């Protein structure tokens, strides 16, 4: 079956499927006639298992070992329970810090941030993990960059459309519907489709950034 069929069946994007292939978790057969990937039902089931484990935040390397028959599923789940327990403890510590800030600080301008940052540094040295502000800032910057690029491009397309409409306005109505103007209407349709496609692509890009797909390879 084709990749778009697998995408619909499993509920993950083509980009994720390609990512898992690059990581060696999935190796679909090739169609000998055109060398295109030909996914089987076994590939679908394998992707479903990968999706389940990834949703449980199991690292890629551990999934690879499991699928290659080199690891114990029970041990993997025990390791994941330990990791999730640690994350839960981290969340509890952050809640305690937030509670301490709420009780001890009236206004943000009087906040002794250095003191709390020093405490957080000690906690991090002990294994506690707080929010990755670098990742958050990079994501925000990526969103802003994508938004600006889309606005500039769509604005340029809109200007072209306006120029066309202004030019058409000066032409008699009966000539507008003549055969000579057919290519012009095709161009208008294409521009509208391009603008729509850009907006859809921007939305998909935001979804990718929010889901952190760009960081999967780095984290695991």
- Work out the pLDDT band at 220, boundaries 50, 70, 90: very low
Q: What is the DSSP string of the chain?
A: --HHHHHHHHT--HHHHHHHHHTTS---EE-TTT--EE--HHHHHHHHHHHHHHHTT--HHHHHHHHTT-S-HHHHHHHHHHHHHHHHHHHHHHHHHHHHHHHH-S-GGG--HHHHHHHHHHHHHTT-----HHHHHHHHHHHHHHHHHHHHHHHHHHHHHHHHHHHHHTS-HHHHTSGGGHHHHHHHHHHHHHHHHHHHHHHHHHHHHHHTGGGHHHH-
Would the pTM of this model clear 0.75, i.e. be above it?
no
Split at pLDDT 50, 70, 90, the class of 93 is confident
Predicted confidence (pLDDT) per residue in 145-193, tens digit: 788 888 998 888 888 888 878 877 766 655 555 555 666 778 888 888 9
Which architecture characterizes domain 3-67 according to CATH?
Answer: Orthogonal Bundle (1.10)
The ranges assigned to domains in the chain are 3-67, 81-125, 133-219
């Amino acid at each position: 079956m084709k990749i778009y069929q697998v995408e619909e069946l499993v509920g993950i994007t083509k980009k994720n499927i390609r990512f898992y292939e690059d990581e060696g978790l999935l190796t679909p057969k090739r169609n000998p006639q055109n060398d295109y990937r030909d996914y089987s039902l076994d590939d679908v089931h394998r992707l479903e298992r990968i999706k389940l484990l990834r949703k449980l935040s199991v690292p890629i390397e551990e999934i690879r070992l499991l699928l290659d028959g080199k690891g114990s599923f029970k041990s993997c789940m025990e390791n994941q329970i330990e990791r999730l327990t640690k994350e839960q403890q981290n969340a509890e510590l952050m809640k305690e810090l937030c509670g301490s800030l709420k009780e001890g600080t009236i206004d943000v301008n009087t906040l002794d941030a250095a003191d709390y940052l020093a405490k957080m540094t000690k906690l991090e040295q002990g294994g506690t993990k707080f929010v990755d502000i670098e990742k958050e800032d990079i994501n925000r910057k990526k969103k802003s960059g994508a938004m600006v690029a889309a606005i500039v491009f769509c604005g340029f397309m809109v200007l072209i459309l306006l120029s066309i409409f202004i030019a058409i306005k000066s032409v008699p109505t009966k000539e507008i519907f003549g055969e000579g103007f057919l290519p012009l209407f095709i161009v208008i349709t294409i521009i509208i489709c391009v603008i729509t496609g850009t907006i859809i692509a921007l939305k998909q890009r935001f979804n990718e950034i929010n889901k952190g797909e760009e960081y999967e390879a780095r984290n695991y």
